[in-house]
Each structure stands twice: as C-alpha cells, then as structure tokens.
A = this chain, B = another copy of it.
C-alpha cells in the first residue's frame, strides 16, 4: 500500500498518514518544498536534508524548457541531476499554461485578490497561450518560441524527469470565469486526464524511475456542483492519489468550502495534495478538511523578502530588515533548532540583508523551511493524539 492512514481524528476528515515512494517515505500531513527549476531557491540538498524536508516539487514547464526533460533523463532524472535522492513530485505545467494565459487576462492567481468595491478583473498582460482540445500552444518565457504542451507530451516529459509522483496536464480556471466556462474547462481536464492515463501506461519504460505514480487533478473552480462532479469523475478513473487544483475562489472561506465539497467525494484511502497553498492558517484548515500534502513557495519567497516565520511576531512574520534588529543579539526565534537560529543573531541577519550579502538568502530560507517542517511535525503530533490542530495552540 503506497499510502497508509495511521490515524484518523473522529468527527473530521483529518488524518495522519504515511506515503511510501521508491525514494523514501513521507509522513503526512507534509509540507512539499517548491523546487521549480530542480532546486529550492537559495539552499542546497544538504540543507534540505539537515532540516528534515521530506519531499520536493519541480515544474515540468520550467524544466522542460531548460535544461529539457531529455537532458535531465540522461543525467539520472531529477534525483540524479539535482542530488535530491528523496521523494520528488512534478507539477504538470497546467498552472503555468493558466498563469501565462487566462491568469494574465484576469490578473489573478489561485485566489482572487480584489479590493472592496472592485468587481472586474484587471488584466496583467496579454495571453501567451493558445488553448485547443489537443493541448496548449505556449510561448517560452526564455526565448519567445512557441511550444506545444499536450497531455501526452507532458507525461512523456514527466517520465523523463522521473519524479515519484507526477500530475497530468489540466486546465486551470480563474475566480472570474463563470460557471459555464469553468464547466467546459473541467470537462476538458477530465478528457485530458484519460489521455494522460493512457500515455502513462504506454511510457512505462521511458524514464529513469519505473516506480512513478500518476495522480489525478480535480478542477471545477469554486462551484459546488462542478467540484463534486470533478472529484467523482477523477476518482472514477482510478488514480492512486489526487491533487486539488485551479481556482479556489475569492476568499479563504471560498477555499475552505471547495475543500469541504471536494474531499468527501474522493476515496478515503488515497492521498490528497492541495496545489500551491500554504499559509499556516490555510494548512491547519486544510488538514482539518482532509488534505495530506501542500506545496507553497511562500515560505522561501518570504525569506528572500526579509520576512522570517516565527510564532512570536504578529502575522507570524518578523521583518528582519527593520532597523530595530540592528543590535538584537537574539536568534530569530528563541526555541528554533534550525542552523540559522543556532548560530546567528537577528543583528547579523539584518546586517547581511542590508549589505546585500547573498548568504542572507540561504540562512533566511533555511529558517523558514525548518519552521514549516516543525509546524507540520506539530500538526502530526496533534493528530497522533487524536486532536485537531489549532493555530492558537501552536503559538504557545
């Protein structure tokens, strides 16, 4: 059994689990560190190991453009190429097709950020994507050349990349798409899922990792009927695990409702990944609603922007650029066991950031990733004792 449920919390969808892959076990709920181009920004695989990161997710669109999936395969697949020999996931590039296409036209990402009184989406640029039933023509962000992403081509690339868990091409929608458009995109996603499954079966011997699993992606936007239908349809195709993708609505409450509609339609015994979500609050709420895995670039991006995660600051973020840290000899967080907090003061990190020293980015990223690892460890401990995680408890 690749996924084993260790304990459930009665009266909720929450569960403690263990996902087995050819490259190691992932204790769930788990934080999946984002390594879009094969490397988590600013840190090395040694760093990731030393702070207990369990699993990484790379992106098929980005790696397919550079250095190319074939090149990665020749160099030992993602595991051999990058030196991370633990579990890998690859996202399909479906979100990039969206964010370079409809996402630009609507000026949105996974959740709409709209100001009070604002009603219409604001374009952030022209679409670089042409979507057809066959697949997506998409301009390379590297050289402008048009490349074709079909469900079959994406599976071929993911076979070559060799991640342990791979995802099929999907069509994401925006919170500003109406129900009719969202339905047709969802139906296309279902047809693409079937094509991906066939392609997956036909390419078993292509890549460096024959033990790959292809998980399905649920779409359907923030529409209850669509989410439920998508979850049932994708579950019916027999995938060994599931990702929840696409638009999660216009607020956190919308997102929680999407999870409440989707998760109960999925087979209980299989793992569930929530794509691209990851504030502390979101994670706690998603765990309670039955999500097992999360990936999110926020902890690493925040680190690079000077925001260090800690329970001792409002909003869980300490802005290390602030002048009040200039002479602060304390570590970022008193109880943190990360290599950064064990060796460096707030004053020194403040100095490194102000001086533009590259080493700042690594030390800050190490802290934030360790924080996320410890946070999910705490969630698992709560679940192991039959309790639902409550953010107010974590702060103590």
Contacts and interface: CB of A to CB of B under 8 A. Distances in A.
Contacts of A339: 46
A4 B224 CA distance: 80
A347 B81 contact: yes
Interface centre among A40, A326, A362 (most CB of B within 10 A): A362
Interface in A31-73: 37-46, 62, 66-67, 71
Given A347-B71, A363-B44, A357 B39 contact: yes
A132 interface: no
A74 B44 contact: no
Given A75-B345, A83-B343, A347-B81, A359 B67 contact: no
A41 B359 contact: yes
Given A75-B345, A347-B67, A351-B67, A37 B357 contact: yes
A146 interface: no
A344 interface: yes
Contact of A67 (B67, B82, B326): B326
A223 interface: no
Given A81-B348, A359-B41, A71 B343 contact: no
A44 B355 CA distance: 15
A361 interface: yes
Interface residues of A, number: 41
A66 B344 contact: no
B44 A347 contact: no
A62 B351 CA distance: 12
A351 B38 contact: yes
A321 to B, nearest CB: 13
A362 B365 CA distance: 14
A352 interface: yes
A329 interface: yes
Contacts of A345: 75, 81
A358 B347 contact: no
A7 interface: no
Interface of A: 37-46, 62, 66-67, 71, 74-76, 81-83, 304, 326-327, 329, 339, 343-345, 347-348, 350-352, 354-355, 357-359, 361-363
29 contacts: A37-B351, A38-B355, A39-B355, A39-B359, A41-B357, A41-B358, A41-B359, A42-B359, A43-B359, A44-B359, A45-B343, A46-B339, A66-B354, A67-B347, A67-B351, A67-B354, A71-B327, A75-B327, A75-B345, A76-B329, A81-B345, A81-B347, A81-B348, A81-B351, A82-B348, A83-B343, A83-B344, A358-B362, A359-B362
Closest 4 CB pairs of A and B: A42-B358, A37-B355, A39-B357, A83-B343
